[in-house]
Structure 1
Amino acid sequence: MFIDMPLDQLRGYLPPRHEPADFDAFWNRTLEEARKHDLDAVFTEVDTGLSLVRTYDVTFAGFGGHPVKGWLIVPASATGPLPCVVQYIGYNGGRGTPHDWLLWPAAGWAVFVMDSRGQGGSRMPGDTADPVGGTGPMVPGRLTLGVLDPGDYYYRRLYTDGVRAVEAARSHPLVDAAEIVVAGGSQGGGTAMAVSALVPGLRHAFIDVPFMTHIRRACEITDADPYAELSRFLQTQRHLVDQVFATLDHFDGVNFAARNTTPALFSVGLRDAITPPSTVFAAYNHYAGEKDIKVWPFNEHEGGASAQAAAQLAIARTLRRAAD
């Protein structure tokens, strides 16, 4: 069933933002601290049995200088710099295996897949530890890890890793540093929205069914995980509600959206209980840059799936023609 407002109301939905006074200073300080560590990006070519692509096992220094894993996959015929999609991953997923990420190399692009620290389920295994445990109480998952202090919060580390992943991709000679697109769905979509606000000069952002947007409303209208992790946490930590949301405001996609000038394509499923439509439209309607959104009325958290990928490929062809 449709789980949110009618579409005509969603298109005009522009809720007030809860923006911390130190939002910009917090993120400027965070990235300055991260860049004190050498990027130290290492690309090791590996034999995957995929004869039409070349695959590199990547390690680079993310938040705190911590090693973060990834894949760089390029067409085997590549001889010069290619446009590159930097791909971020959904909640509890890891970088998986190279054959999970062949769409963009098949289109003639490079793809740089960033592992998500401390995540990686059985379906999409990960290879990156999160050596920071966070402080204070939490419930299982990542959403409440360090949530009592913006400086300790898990997503400070993940979004910083996302920025450093762009820098790592740009450092490779087979990647055209001026032709970078960031992409992801759910948690990956939220990461793409944050990174595209924090990194200048990106060509496009593909932001699918983004998580971590309009978080206060999400917690009010869905019982689905991962937002339900916050609800379970606050059921027992009743006295911490204001403190928790003060932290989350530093990571809310609507605040990144209001600063974002990277051209973007969004997607939303009107039956999505995981990232409810109004939370997606809140970010989309506040988005300051050139934008479009694909609305999938009968879809849930998968959004447009392969149809959305086709729309992204169409934009990618346009970007290639413009670059040429």
Structure 2
Amino acid sequence: MALFDLPLPELRRYSPEVPEPDDFDAFWKASVPSGEALVEVRPHSTSLRLVDTFDVTFTGFGGAPVKAWYTRPAGTREALPAVVEYLGYGRGRGLPHERLTWVTAGYAHLLMDSRGQGDQYGSGGGTPDPHGGAPGGPGPVTRGILAPEDYYYRRLMSDAVRAVAAVRELSGVDPTRVAVCGNSQGGGLALAVAGLVPDLAAVLVSAPFLCHVQRAIDITDAAPYGEIVAYLSVHRDAETAVRRTLSYVDGVSFARRATAPGHWGVGLRDTVCPPSTVFAAYNRYGHDDRTIEVYPFNHHEGGDAHHVARQLDWLAARI
């Protein structure tokens, strides 16, 4: 894909006024459950001798159980800094040996399953979405999209906040040193958590989904935004309701509220999460310690393994 969005000098200055609902904070305060999060932590047998793996269940939105993999360096007993990781669109938590970067770097690692996802890529998931009966399209991004109270991402973002509460309750975690990370949908979730949890140690966001959403659905037909476009092409009278719902999950609003150092990544040829939507959130990010890695010739994969190396160095310098 050729460059299609704003030139990089304009992107670095791009900071539009993205309106948010007057009751944004009240909405999210009412959405996220409180109280203890952990339900069950069971040792999980694998053939990996250098890590210890646990099958975790915690309570998410509406009290529903959410699954996660918890891994830590084998045999360690001290309280470690933790990284909570969120998944891309359509993925479930898969198998416990699939994501080992953070644990082999010495962190405790919690990989949150995405409720009602896991059927498009990877190795599946294990968390149903029992609250998904409201009108909307078939894909996660359009489920319940006619009202913010019913919207799928209200539930998933609430789960993401609860994952931080859960990791802080786990044995062998230093609750003062918790970072969140993710790419694409996972980046959008990490950014939401950055705006909803006030005492994170760090935030790592790559190609975040659901930023400056109103612009995204106007300039790209690539999925997942293309699913919203397709929905509106059929439900022609739903645009006002849909745009209102999306305003409650926009990453620009969460970015304004962030209070932890932030490391970002963006590919300038990314049609999935267009660069201007990423910079719209980055340029509003609420902490002065922020940096964005720019990959001019890359699409949604961004810097890929090169970017992960930069994330590891950046996070090690902070926690």
Alignment TM-score, normalising by the size of structure 1: 0.95
Q: Identify the residue that residue 109 of structure 2 maps to in structure 1.
A: 111
2:305 is aligned with 1:306: yes
Letter in 1 for 2:123: M
**3-state SS of paired residue (1:155):** helix
Q: Which of 260, 266, 269 in structure 2 is aligned with 1:268?
A: 266
Spell out, residue by residue over 1:2-58, the C-alpha distance to the aligned partner (whole angstroms, 9 max, x if none). Answer: 121110010001111121000011011112xx226x524311011111000000000
Letter in 1 for 2:21: P
In 2: Cα distance, 1:73 partner to 1:140 partner = 33
2:315 is aligned with 1:316: yes
Q: Which of 87, 90, 108 in structure 2 is aligned with 1:89?
A: 87
**3-state SS of paired residue (2:30):** helix
Q: Identify the residue that residue 169 of structure 1 maps to in structure 2.
A: 167
**3-state SS of paired residue (1:143):** helix
In 2: Cα distance, 1:20 partner to 1:60 partner = 30
Letter in 1 for 2:314: I
Q: Identify the residue that residue 208 of structure 1 maps to in structure 2.
A: 206
2:54 is aligned with 1:60: no
Confirm or deny: 8 A CA contact 2:200 2:259 kept in the other structure: no
In 1: Cα distance, 2:116 partner to 2:137 partner = 15
Q: Identify the residue that residue 295 of structure 1 maps to in structure 2.
A: 294
Confirm or deny: 8 A CA contact 2:199 2:259 kept in the other structure: no
In 2: Cα distance, 1:14 partner to 1:234 partner = 27
Alignment TM-score, normalising by the size of structure 2: 0.97
Shift of 1:223: 0.9
2:153 is aligned with 1:152: no
Q: Identify the residue that residue 100 of structure 1 maps to in structure 2.
A: 98
In 2: Cα distance, 1:276 partner to 1:2 partner = 10
Spell out, residue by residue over 1:141-167, the C-alpha distance to the aligned partner (whole angstroms, 9 max, x if none). Answer: 111111111111000000000011001
In 2: Cα distance, 1:200 partner to 1:15 partner = 24
Spell out, residue by residue over 1:246-287, the C-alpha distance to the aligned partner (whole angstroms, 9 max, x if none). Answer: 111000001111111211001000010100000000000111
Letter in 1 for 2:23: D
Spell out, residue by residue over 1:292-313, the C-alpha distance to the aligned partner (whole angstroms, 9 max, x if none). Answer: 1000001110111111111111
**3-state SS of paired residue (2:17):** coil
In 2: Cα distance, 1:133 partner to 1:200 partner = 29
Confirm or deny: 8 A CA contact 1:17 1:254 kept in the other structure: yes
**Structure 1: gaps (5+ residues):** none
Confirm or deny: 8 A CA contact 2:255 2:284 kept in the other structure: yes
Shift of 1:239: 1.3
Confirm or deny: 8 A CA contact 1:88 1:113 kept in the other structure: yes
Task: Count residues with an aligned counterpart.
Answer: 316
Q: Identify the residue that residue 228 of structure 1 maps to in structure 2.
A: 226
Confirm or deny: 8 A CA contact 1:80 1:173 kept in the other structure: no
Shift of 1:209: 0.2
CA RMSD of aligned residues (A): 1.1
**Structure 2: gaps (5+ residues):** none
Q: Which of 276, 279, 303 in structure 1 is aligned with 2:277?
A: 279
Letter in 1 for 2:163: A
Confirm or deny: 8 A CA contact 2:38 2:169 kept in the other structure: no
In 1: Cα distance, 2:203 partner to 2:84 partner = 10
**3-state SS of paired residue (1:280):** helix
| 213-222 or 138-147: bigger deviation | 138-147
**Structure 1 stretches (4+) deviating beyond 6 angstroms?**
none
Q: Identify the residue that residue 126 of structure 2 maps to in structure 1.
A: 127
Matches within 5 A, 1:41-60: 41-60=39-58
Spell out, residue by residue over 1:157-215, the C-alpha distance to the aligned partner (whole angstroms, 9 max, x if none). Answer: 00000011001000012111001000000000000000011112111000000000011
**3-state SS of paired residue (1:151):** helix
Shift of 1:99: 1.1
Confirm or deny: 8 A CA contact 1:146 1:152 kept in the other structure: yes
In 1: Cα distance, 2:292 partner to 2:95 partner = 30
